[in-house]
Amino acid sequence: PGQGMPQDQVLFAARDVGYSELHLFLKSLERHGLLQRIVLVCPGHFFAVHPEPRPAHIDDDFADPSRTVDRVVDWVRENGGAFRGMIGVDEDLQFGLSRDLAARLGIPFFGEASCVRASNKFVQKAAFRRQGVPTSPFALSSDPDVADRVGFPCVVKAVTSYASQYMGRCDDRARLADLLERLRTAAHEAHDDPRFATQEVDLGDGRRLLDPRREFLVERFVRGEEYSCDFLADRDGVQVVRVARKVQGSSFGFFDGAILLGLREIEACGVGLERLAAVCRRIALALDIDAGVCMVDFRVQDGEIVVLESSIRPGLSATNHLVYELYGYTPLALLAMMLLGEAPEVRIPESGAAVVYLNAAHRDWSDADVEALRRRHGQDRVYVYDRSEEAGPVPENDPSALLRGYVVTTEVDGLAWTAVTERAIGGLDPH
C-alpha cells in the first residue's frame, strides 16, 4: 500500500487461525466499510485460497516469533500507519508474540498477568477460585494419587493447549495412571511445541516454575450439556454476545457440531442470559480485563453454570460462521470494530442456526458430496477446509484431523440433533 496508510488502524497477528474464521472476519469488515483499517499478518497462502477481500497484509508463517516481530516493525516503518488496537490469539505463546509487537509499536494490549491467566489452564482455575467463578475441583500433578483430592470421573489436560488436544477423561485410578503416562510421553515427543516450554507462574503466593511436560491439570469432570459463549467487556460492564450448545462427538472433547442459540433457546435450555452475564463479570475480574471480547466454555450441571475455561480472545471455531450468518459479522470482527470505536449494537437474534461437521470417519465427502450439499444449502453455507490450514502442531490420532469442513443450516430452534443433521447432510446418495 505504500505511504499514506490510515492513522487509525488495528493490527491482527492471525497465528494458527483457520481460513474460514479469517475469511469471514475480513468479509465482516468489508461489509461494515472497515477493511482498509486492518493490517493483517498471516501466511500468504491464505490469499491463494481466499483472494478477496484483501486488506493491507504482511506475509508471515509465524515459524519464528522474533522474526515475525522484526518483519512487522520493518513493514510499519516502511509503509507508515498508526494503531489504536491489536488482536492477538497466540495462546500457546502466552500471547508473547502479541505483547512484543504491541510494545515495539506502542499499541495498547493486555498485561502479562492477563495473558498468563488466559493461556495457562491451571493458573486460570486458581484465578477463578479467587474471584468466585463457579468451576470444578482441580489440582496440578503427575501422580495418580491426585484423584484423592479431585475425585472421579476426572479430566486430565496439558496446562497450555487448544482444540481439546492433549486431554482425556478418566473414570478410575488405573485409567488415570495410564493417561498421565501417555501425556508425559506425548509431551516429550512434541519437539519445539511452545505449549510445553517451562513457564514461570504466580498463583498469588509467589512465583514458581511449572514444567508442562511433567505437570498436568487434573480436574473433576463436569456433567451436563456443554456450551460456549463470547462476551464483550467495556466501560459499561459485560454483555453476552453469543451462546452456542456443543454436540459431543464419539471422541471425548471433540464435537460433531454446534447450535448457535437464539434468545428463546438460551432461556429454554436453562442457561439464562442474565445469569450467564453475571458469571462473565466474575470471569472478567479473574482475567483482569476491562475491555475486549472473550470466550468461555461451560457446562450446565444440575441446573448450575460450571465454567471449564475462558480466554481473552473470541472463540475460534465454525460457530464464527453462524454468527456471521445471523449477525452480519463474526466475534473476531466485533473485537476489531470495538477497538476502532465502530462496534455495532449487539442484539442476539430470536432464533438460531447450526453447524454440522463433515467428518471423514463417517463418509469420504467426495467432491460430488460437497456439490450436492452446496446445491441444497447454497455455495456460502458449505465450507471445505484447505488441507494446509491446520492450526499448530497436532498430536498423533487427533480426531480433529478427520474434519473435512462443515455445513450451516438455519431455523433449528427446538429440533433434536438427529433432525438437524438430517436437514444438513442427510439423503446423499450412498457410495
Of 386, 241, 254, 204, the C-alpha closest to 322 is: 241
Render pLDDT for 181-230 as a digit per residue (tens, 0 to 9).
Answer: 888 888 787 777 777 777 777 766 667 777 777 888 999 999 999 999 99
pLDDT range class, residue 252, cuts 50, 70, 90: low
Who has greater pLDDT, 211 or 342? 342
CB atoms within 10 A of CB 45: 13
Whole-number mean pLDDT of the chain?
89
**Size of the chain, expressed as the number of residues it contains:** 431
> Could you tell me if 324 and 32 are in contact, meaning their C-beta atoms sit under 8 angstroms apart?
no
- Spatial separation of the C-alpha atoms in residues 50 and 35, rounded to whole Å: 15
How buried is 250 (Cβ within 10 angstroms: 0-12 exposed, 13-18 middle, 19+ buried)? exposed
User: Across residues 304-326, what is the average pLDDT?
Assistant: 95
Q: Average pLDDT of 387-392?
A: 62
Look at residue 1 in the predicted model and tell me its pLDDT.
Answer: 39
Answer yes or no: are the C-beta atoms of 395 and 166 closer than 8 Å. yes
> Model confidence over 44-85: pLDDT tens digits?
999 999 999 999 999 999 999 999 999 999 999 999 878 999
Q: Whose CA is closest to 162, among 16, 62, 63?
A: 16
For the chain, give the percent of residues with pLDDT over 70. 92
Helix (H) or strand (E) holding 40: strand 38-42
Rounded Cα gap, residues 78 and 39, in angstroms: 14
Is the peptide bond between 108 and the residue preceding it cis, with omega within 30 degrees of 0? no
Say which residue, 422 or 197, is predicted with more confidence. 422
pLDDT surpasses 80 at 2? no
Do you find a cis peptide bond into 53, omega within 30 degrees of 0?
Answer: yes
Phi, psi of 250 (to 5 degrees): -75, -20
Q: Residue 248: which pLDDT band, with cuts at 50, 70 and 90? A: confident
As a whole number of angstroms, the distance between CA 340 and CA 342 comes to 5
pLDDT reading at 322 higher than 70: yes
Of 259, 283, 249, residue with least CA distance to 118: 283
Read off the amino acid at residue 326: L
Q: How far, in Å, CA of 221 to CA of 153, rounded?
A: 5
CB 324, CB 70: distance < 8 Å: no
Q: What is the mean pLDDT of residues 77-96?
A: 90
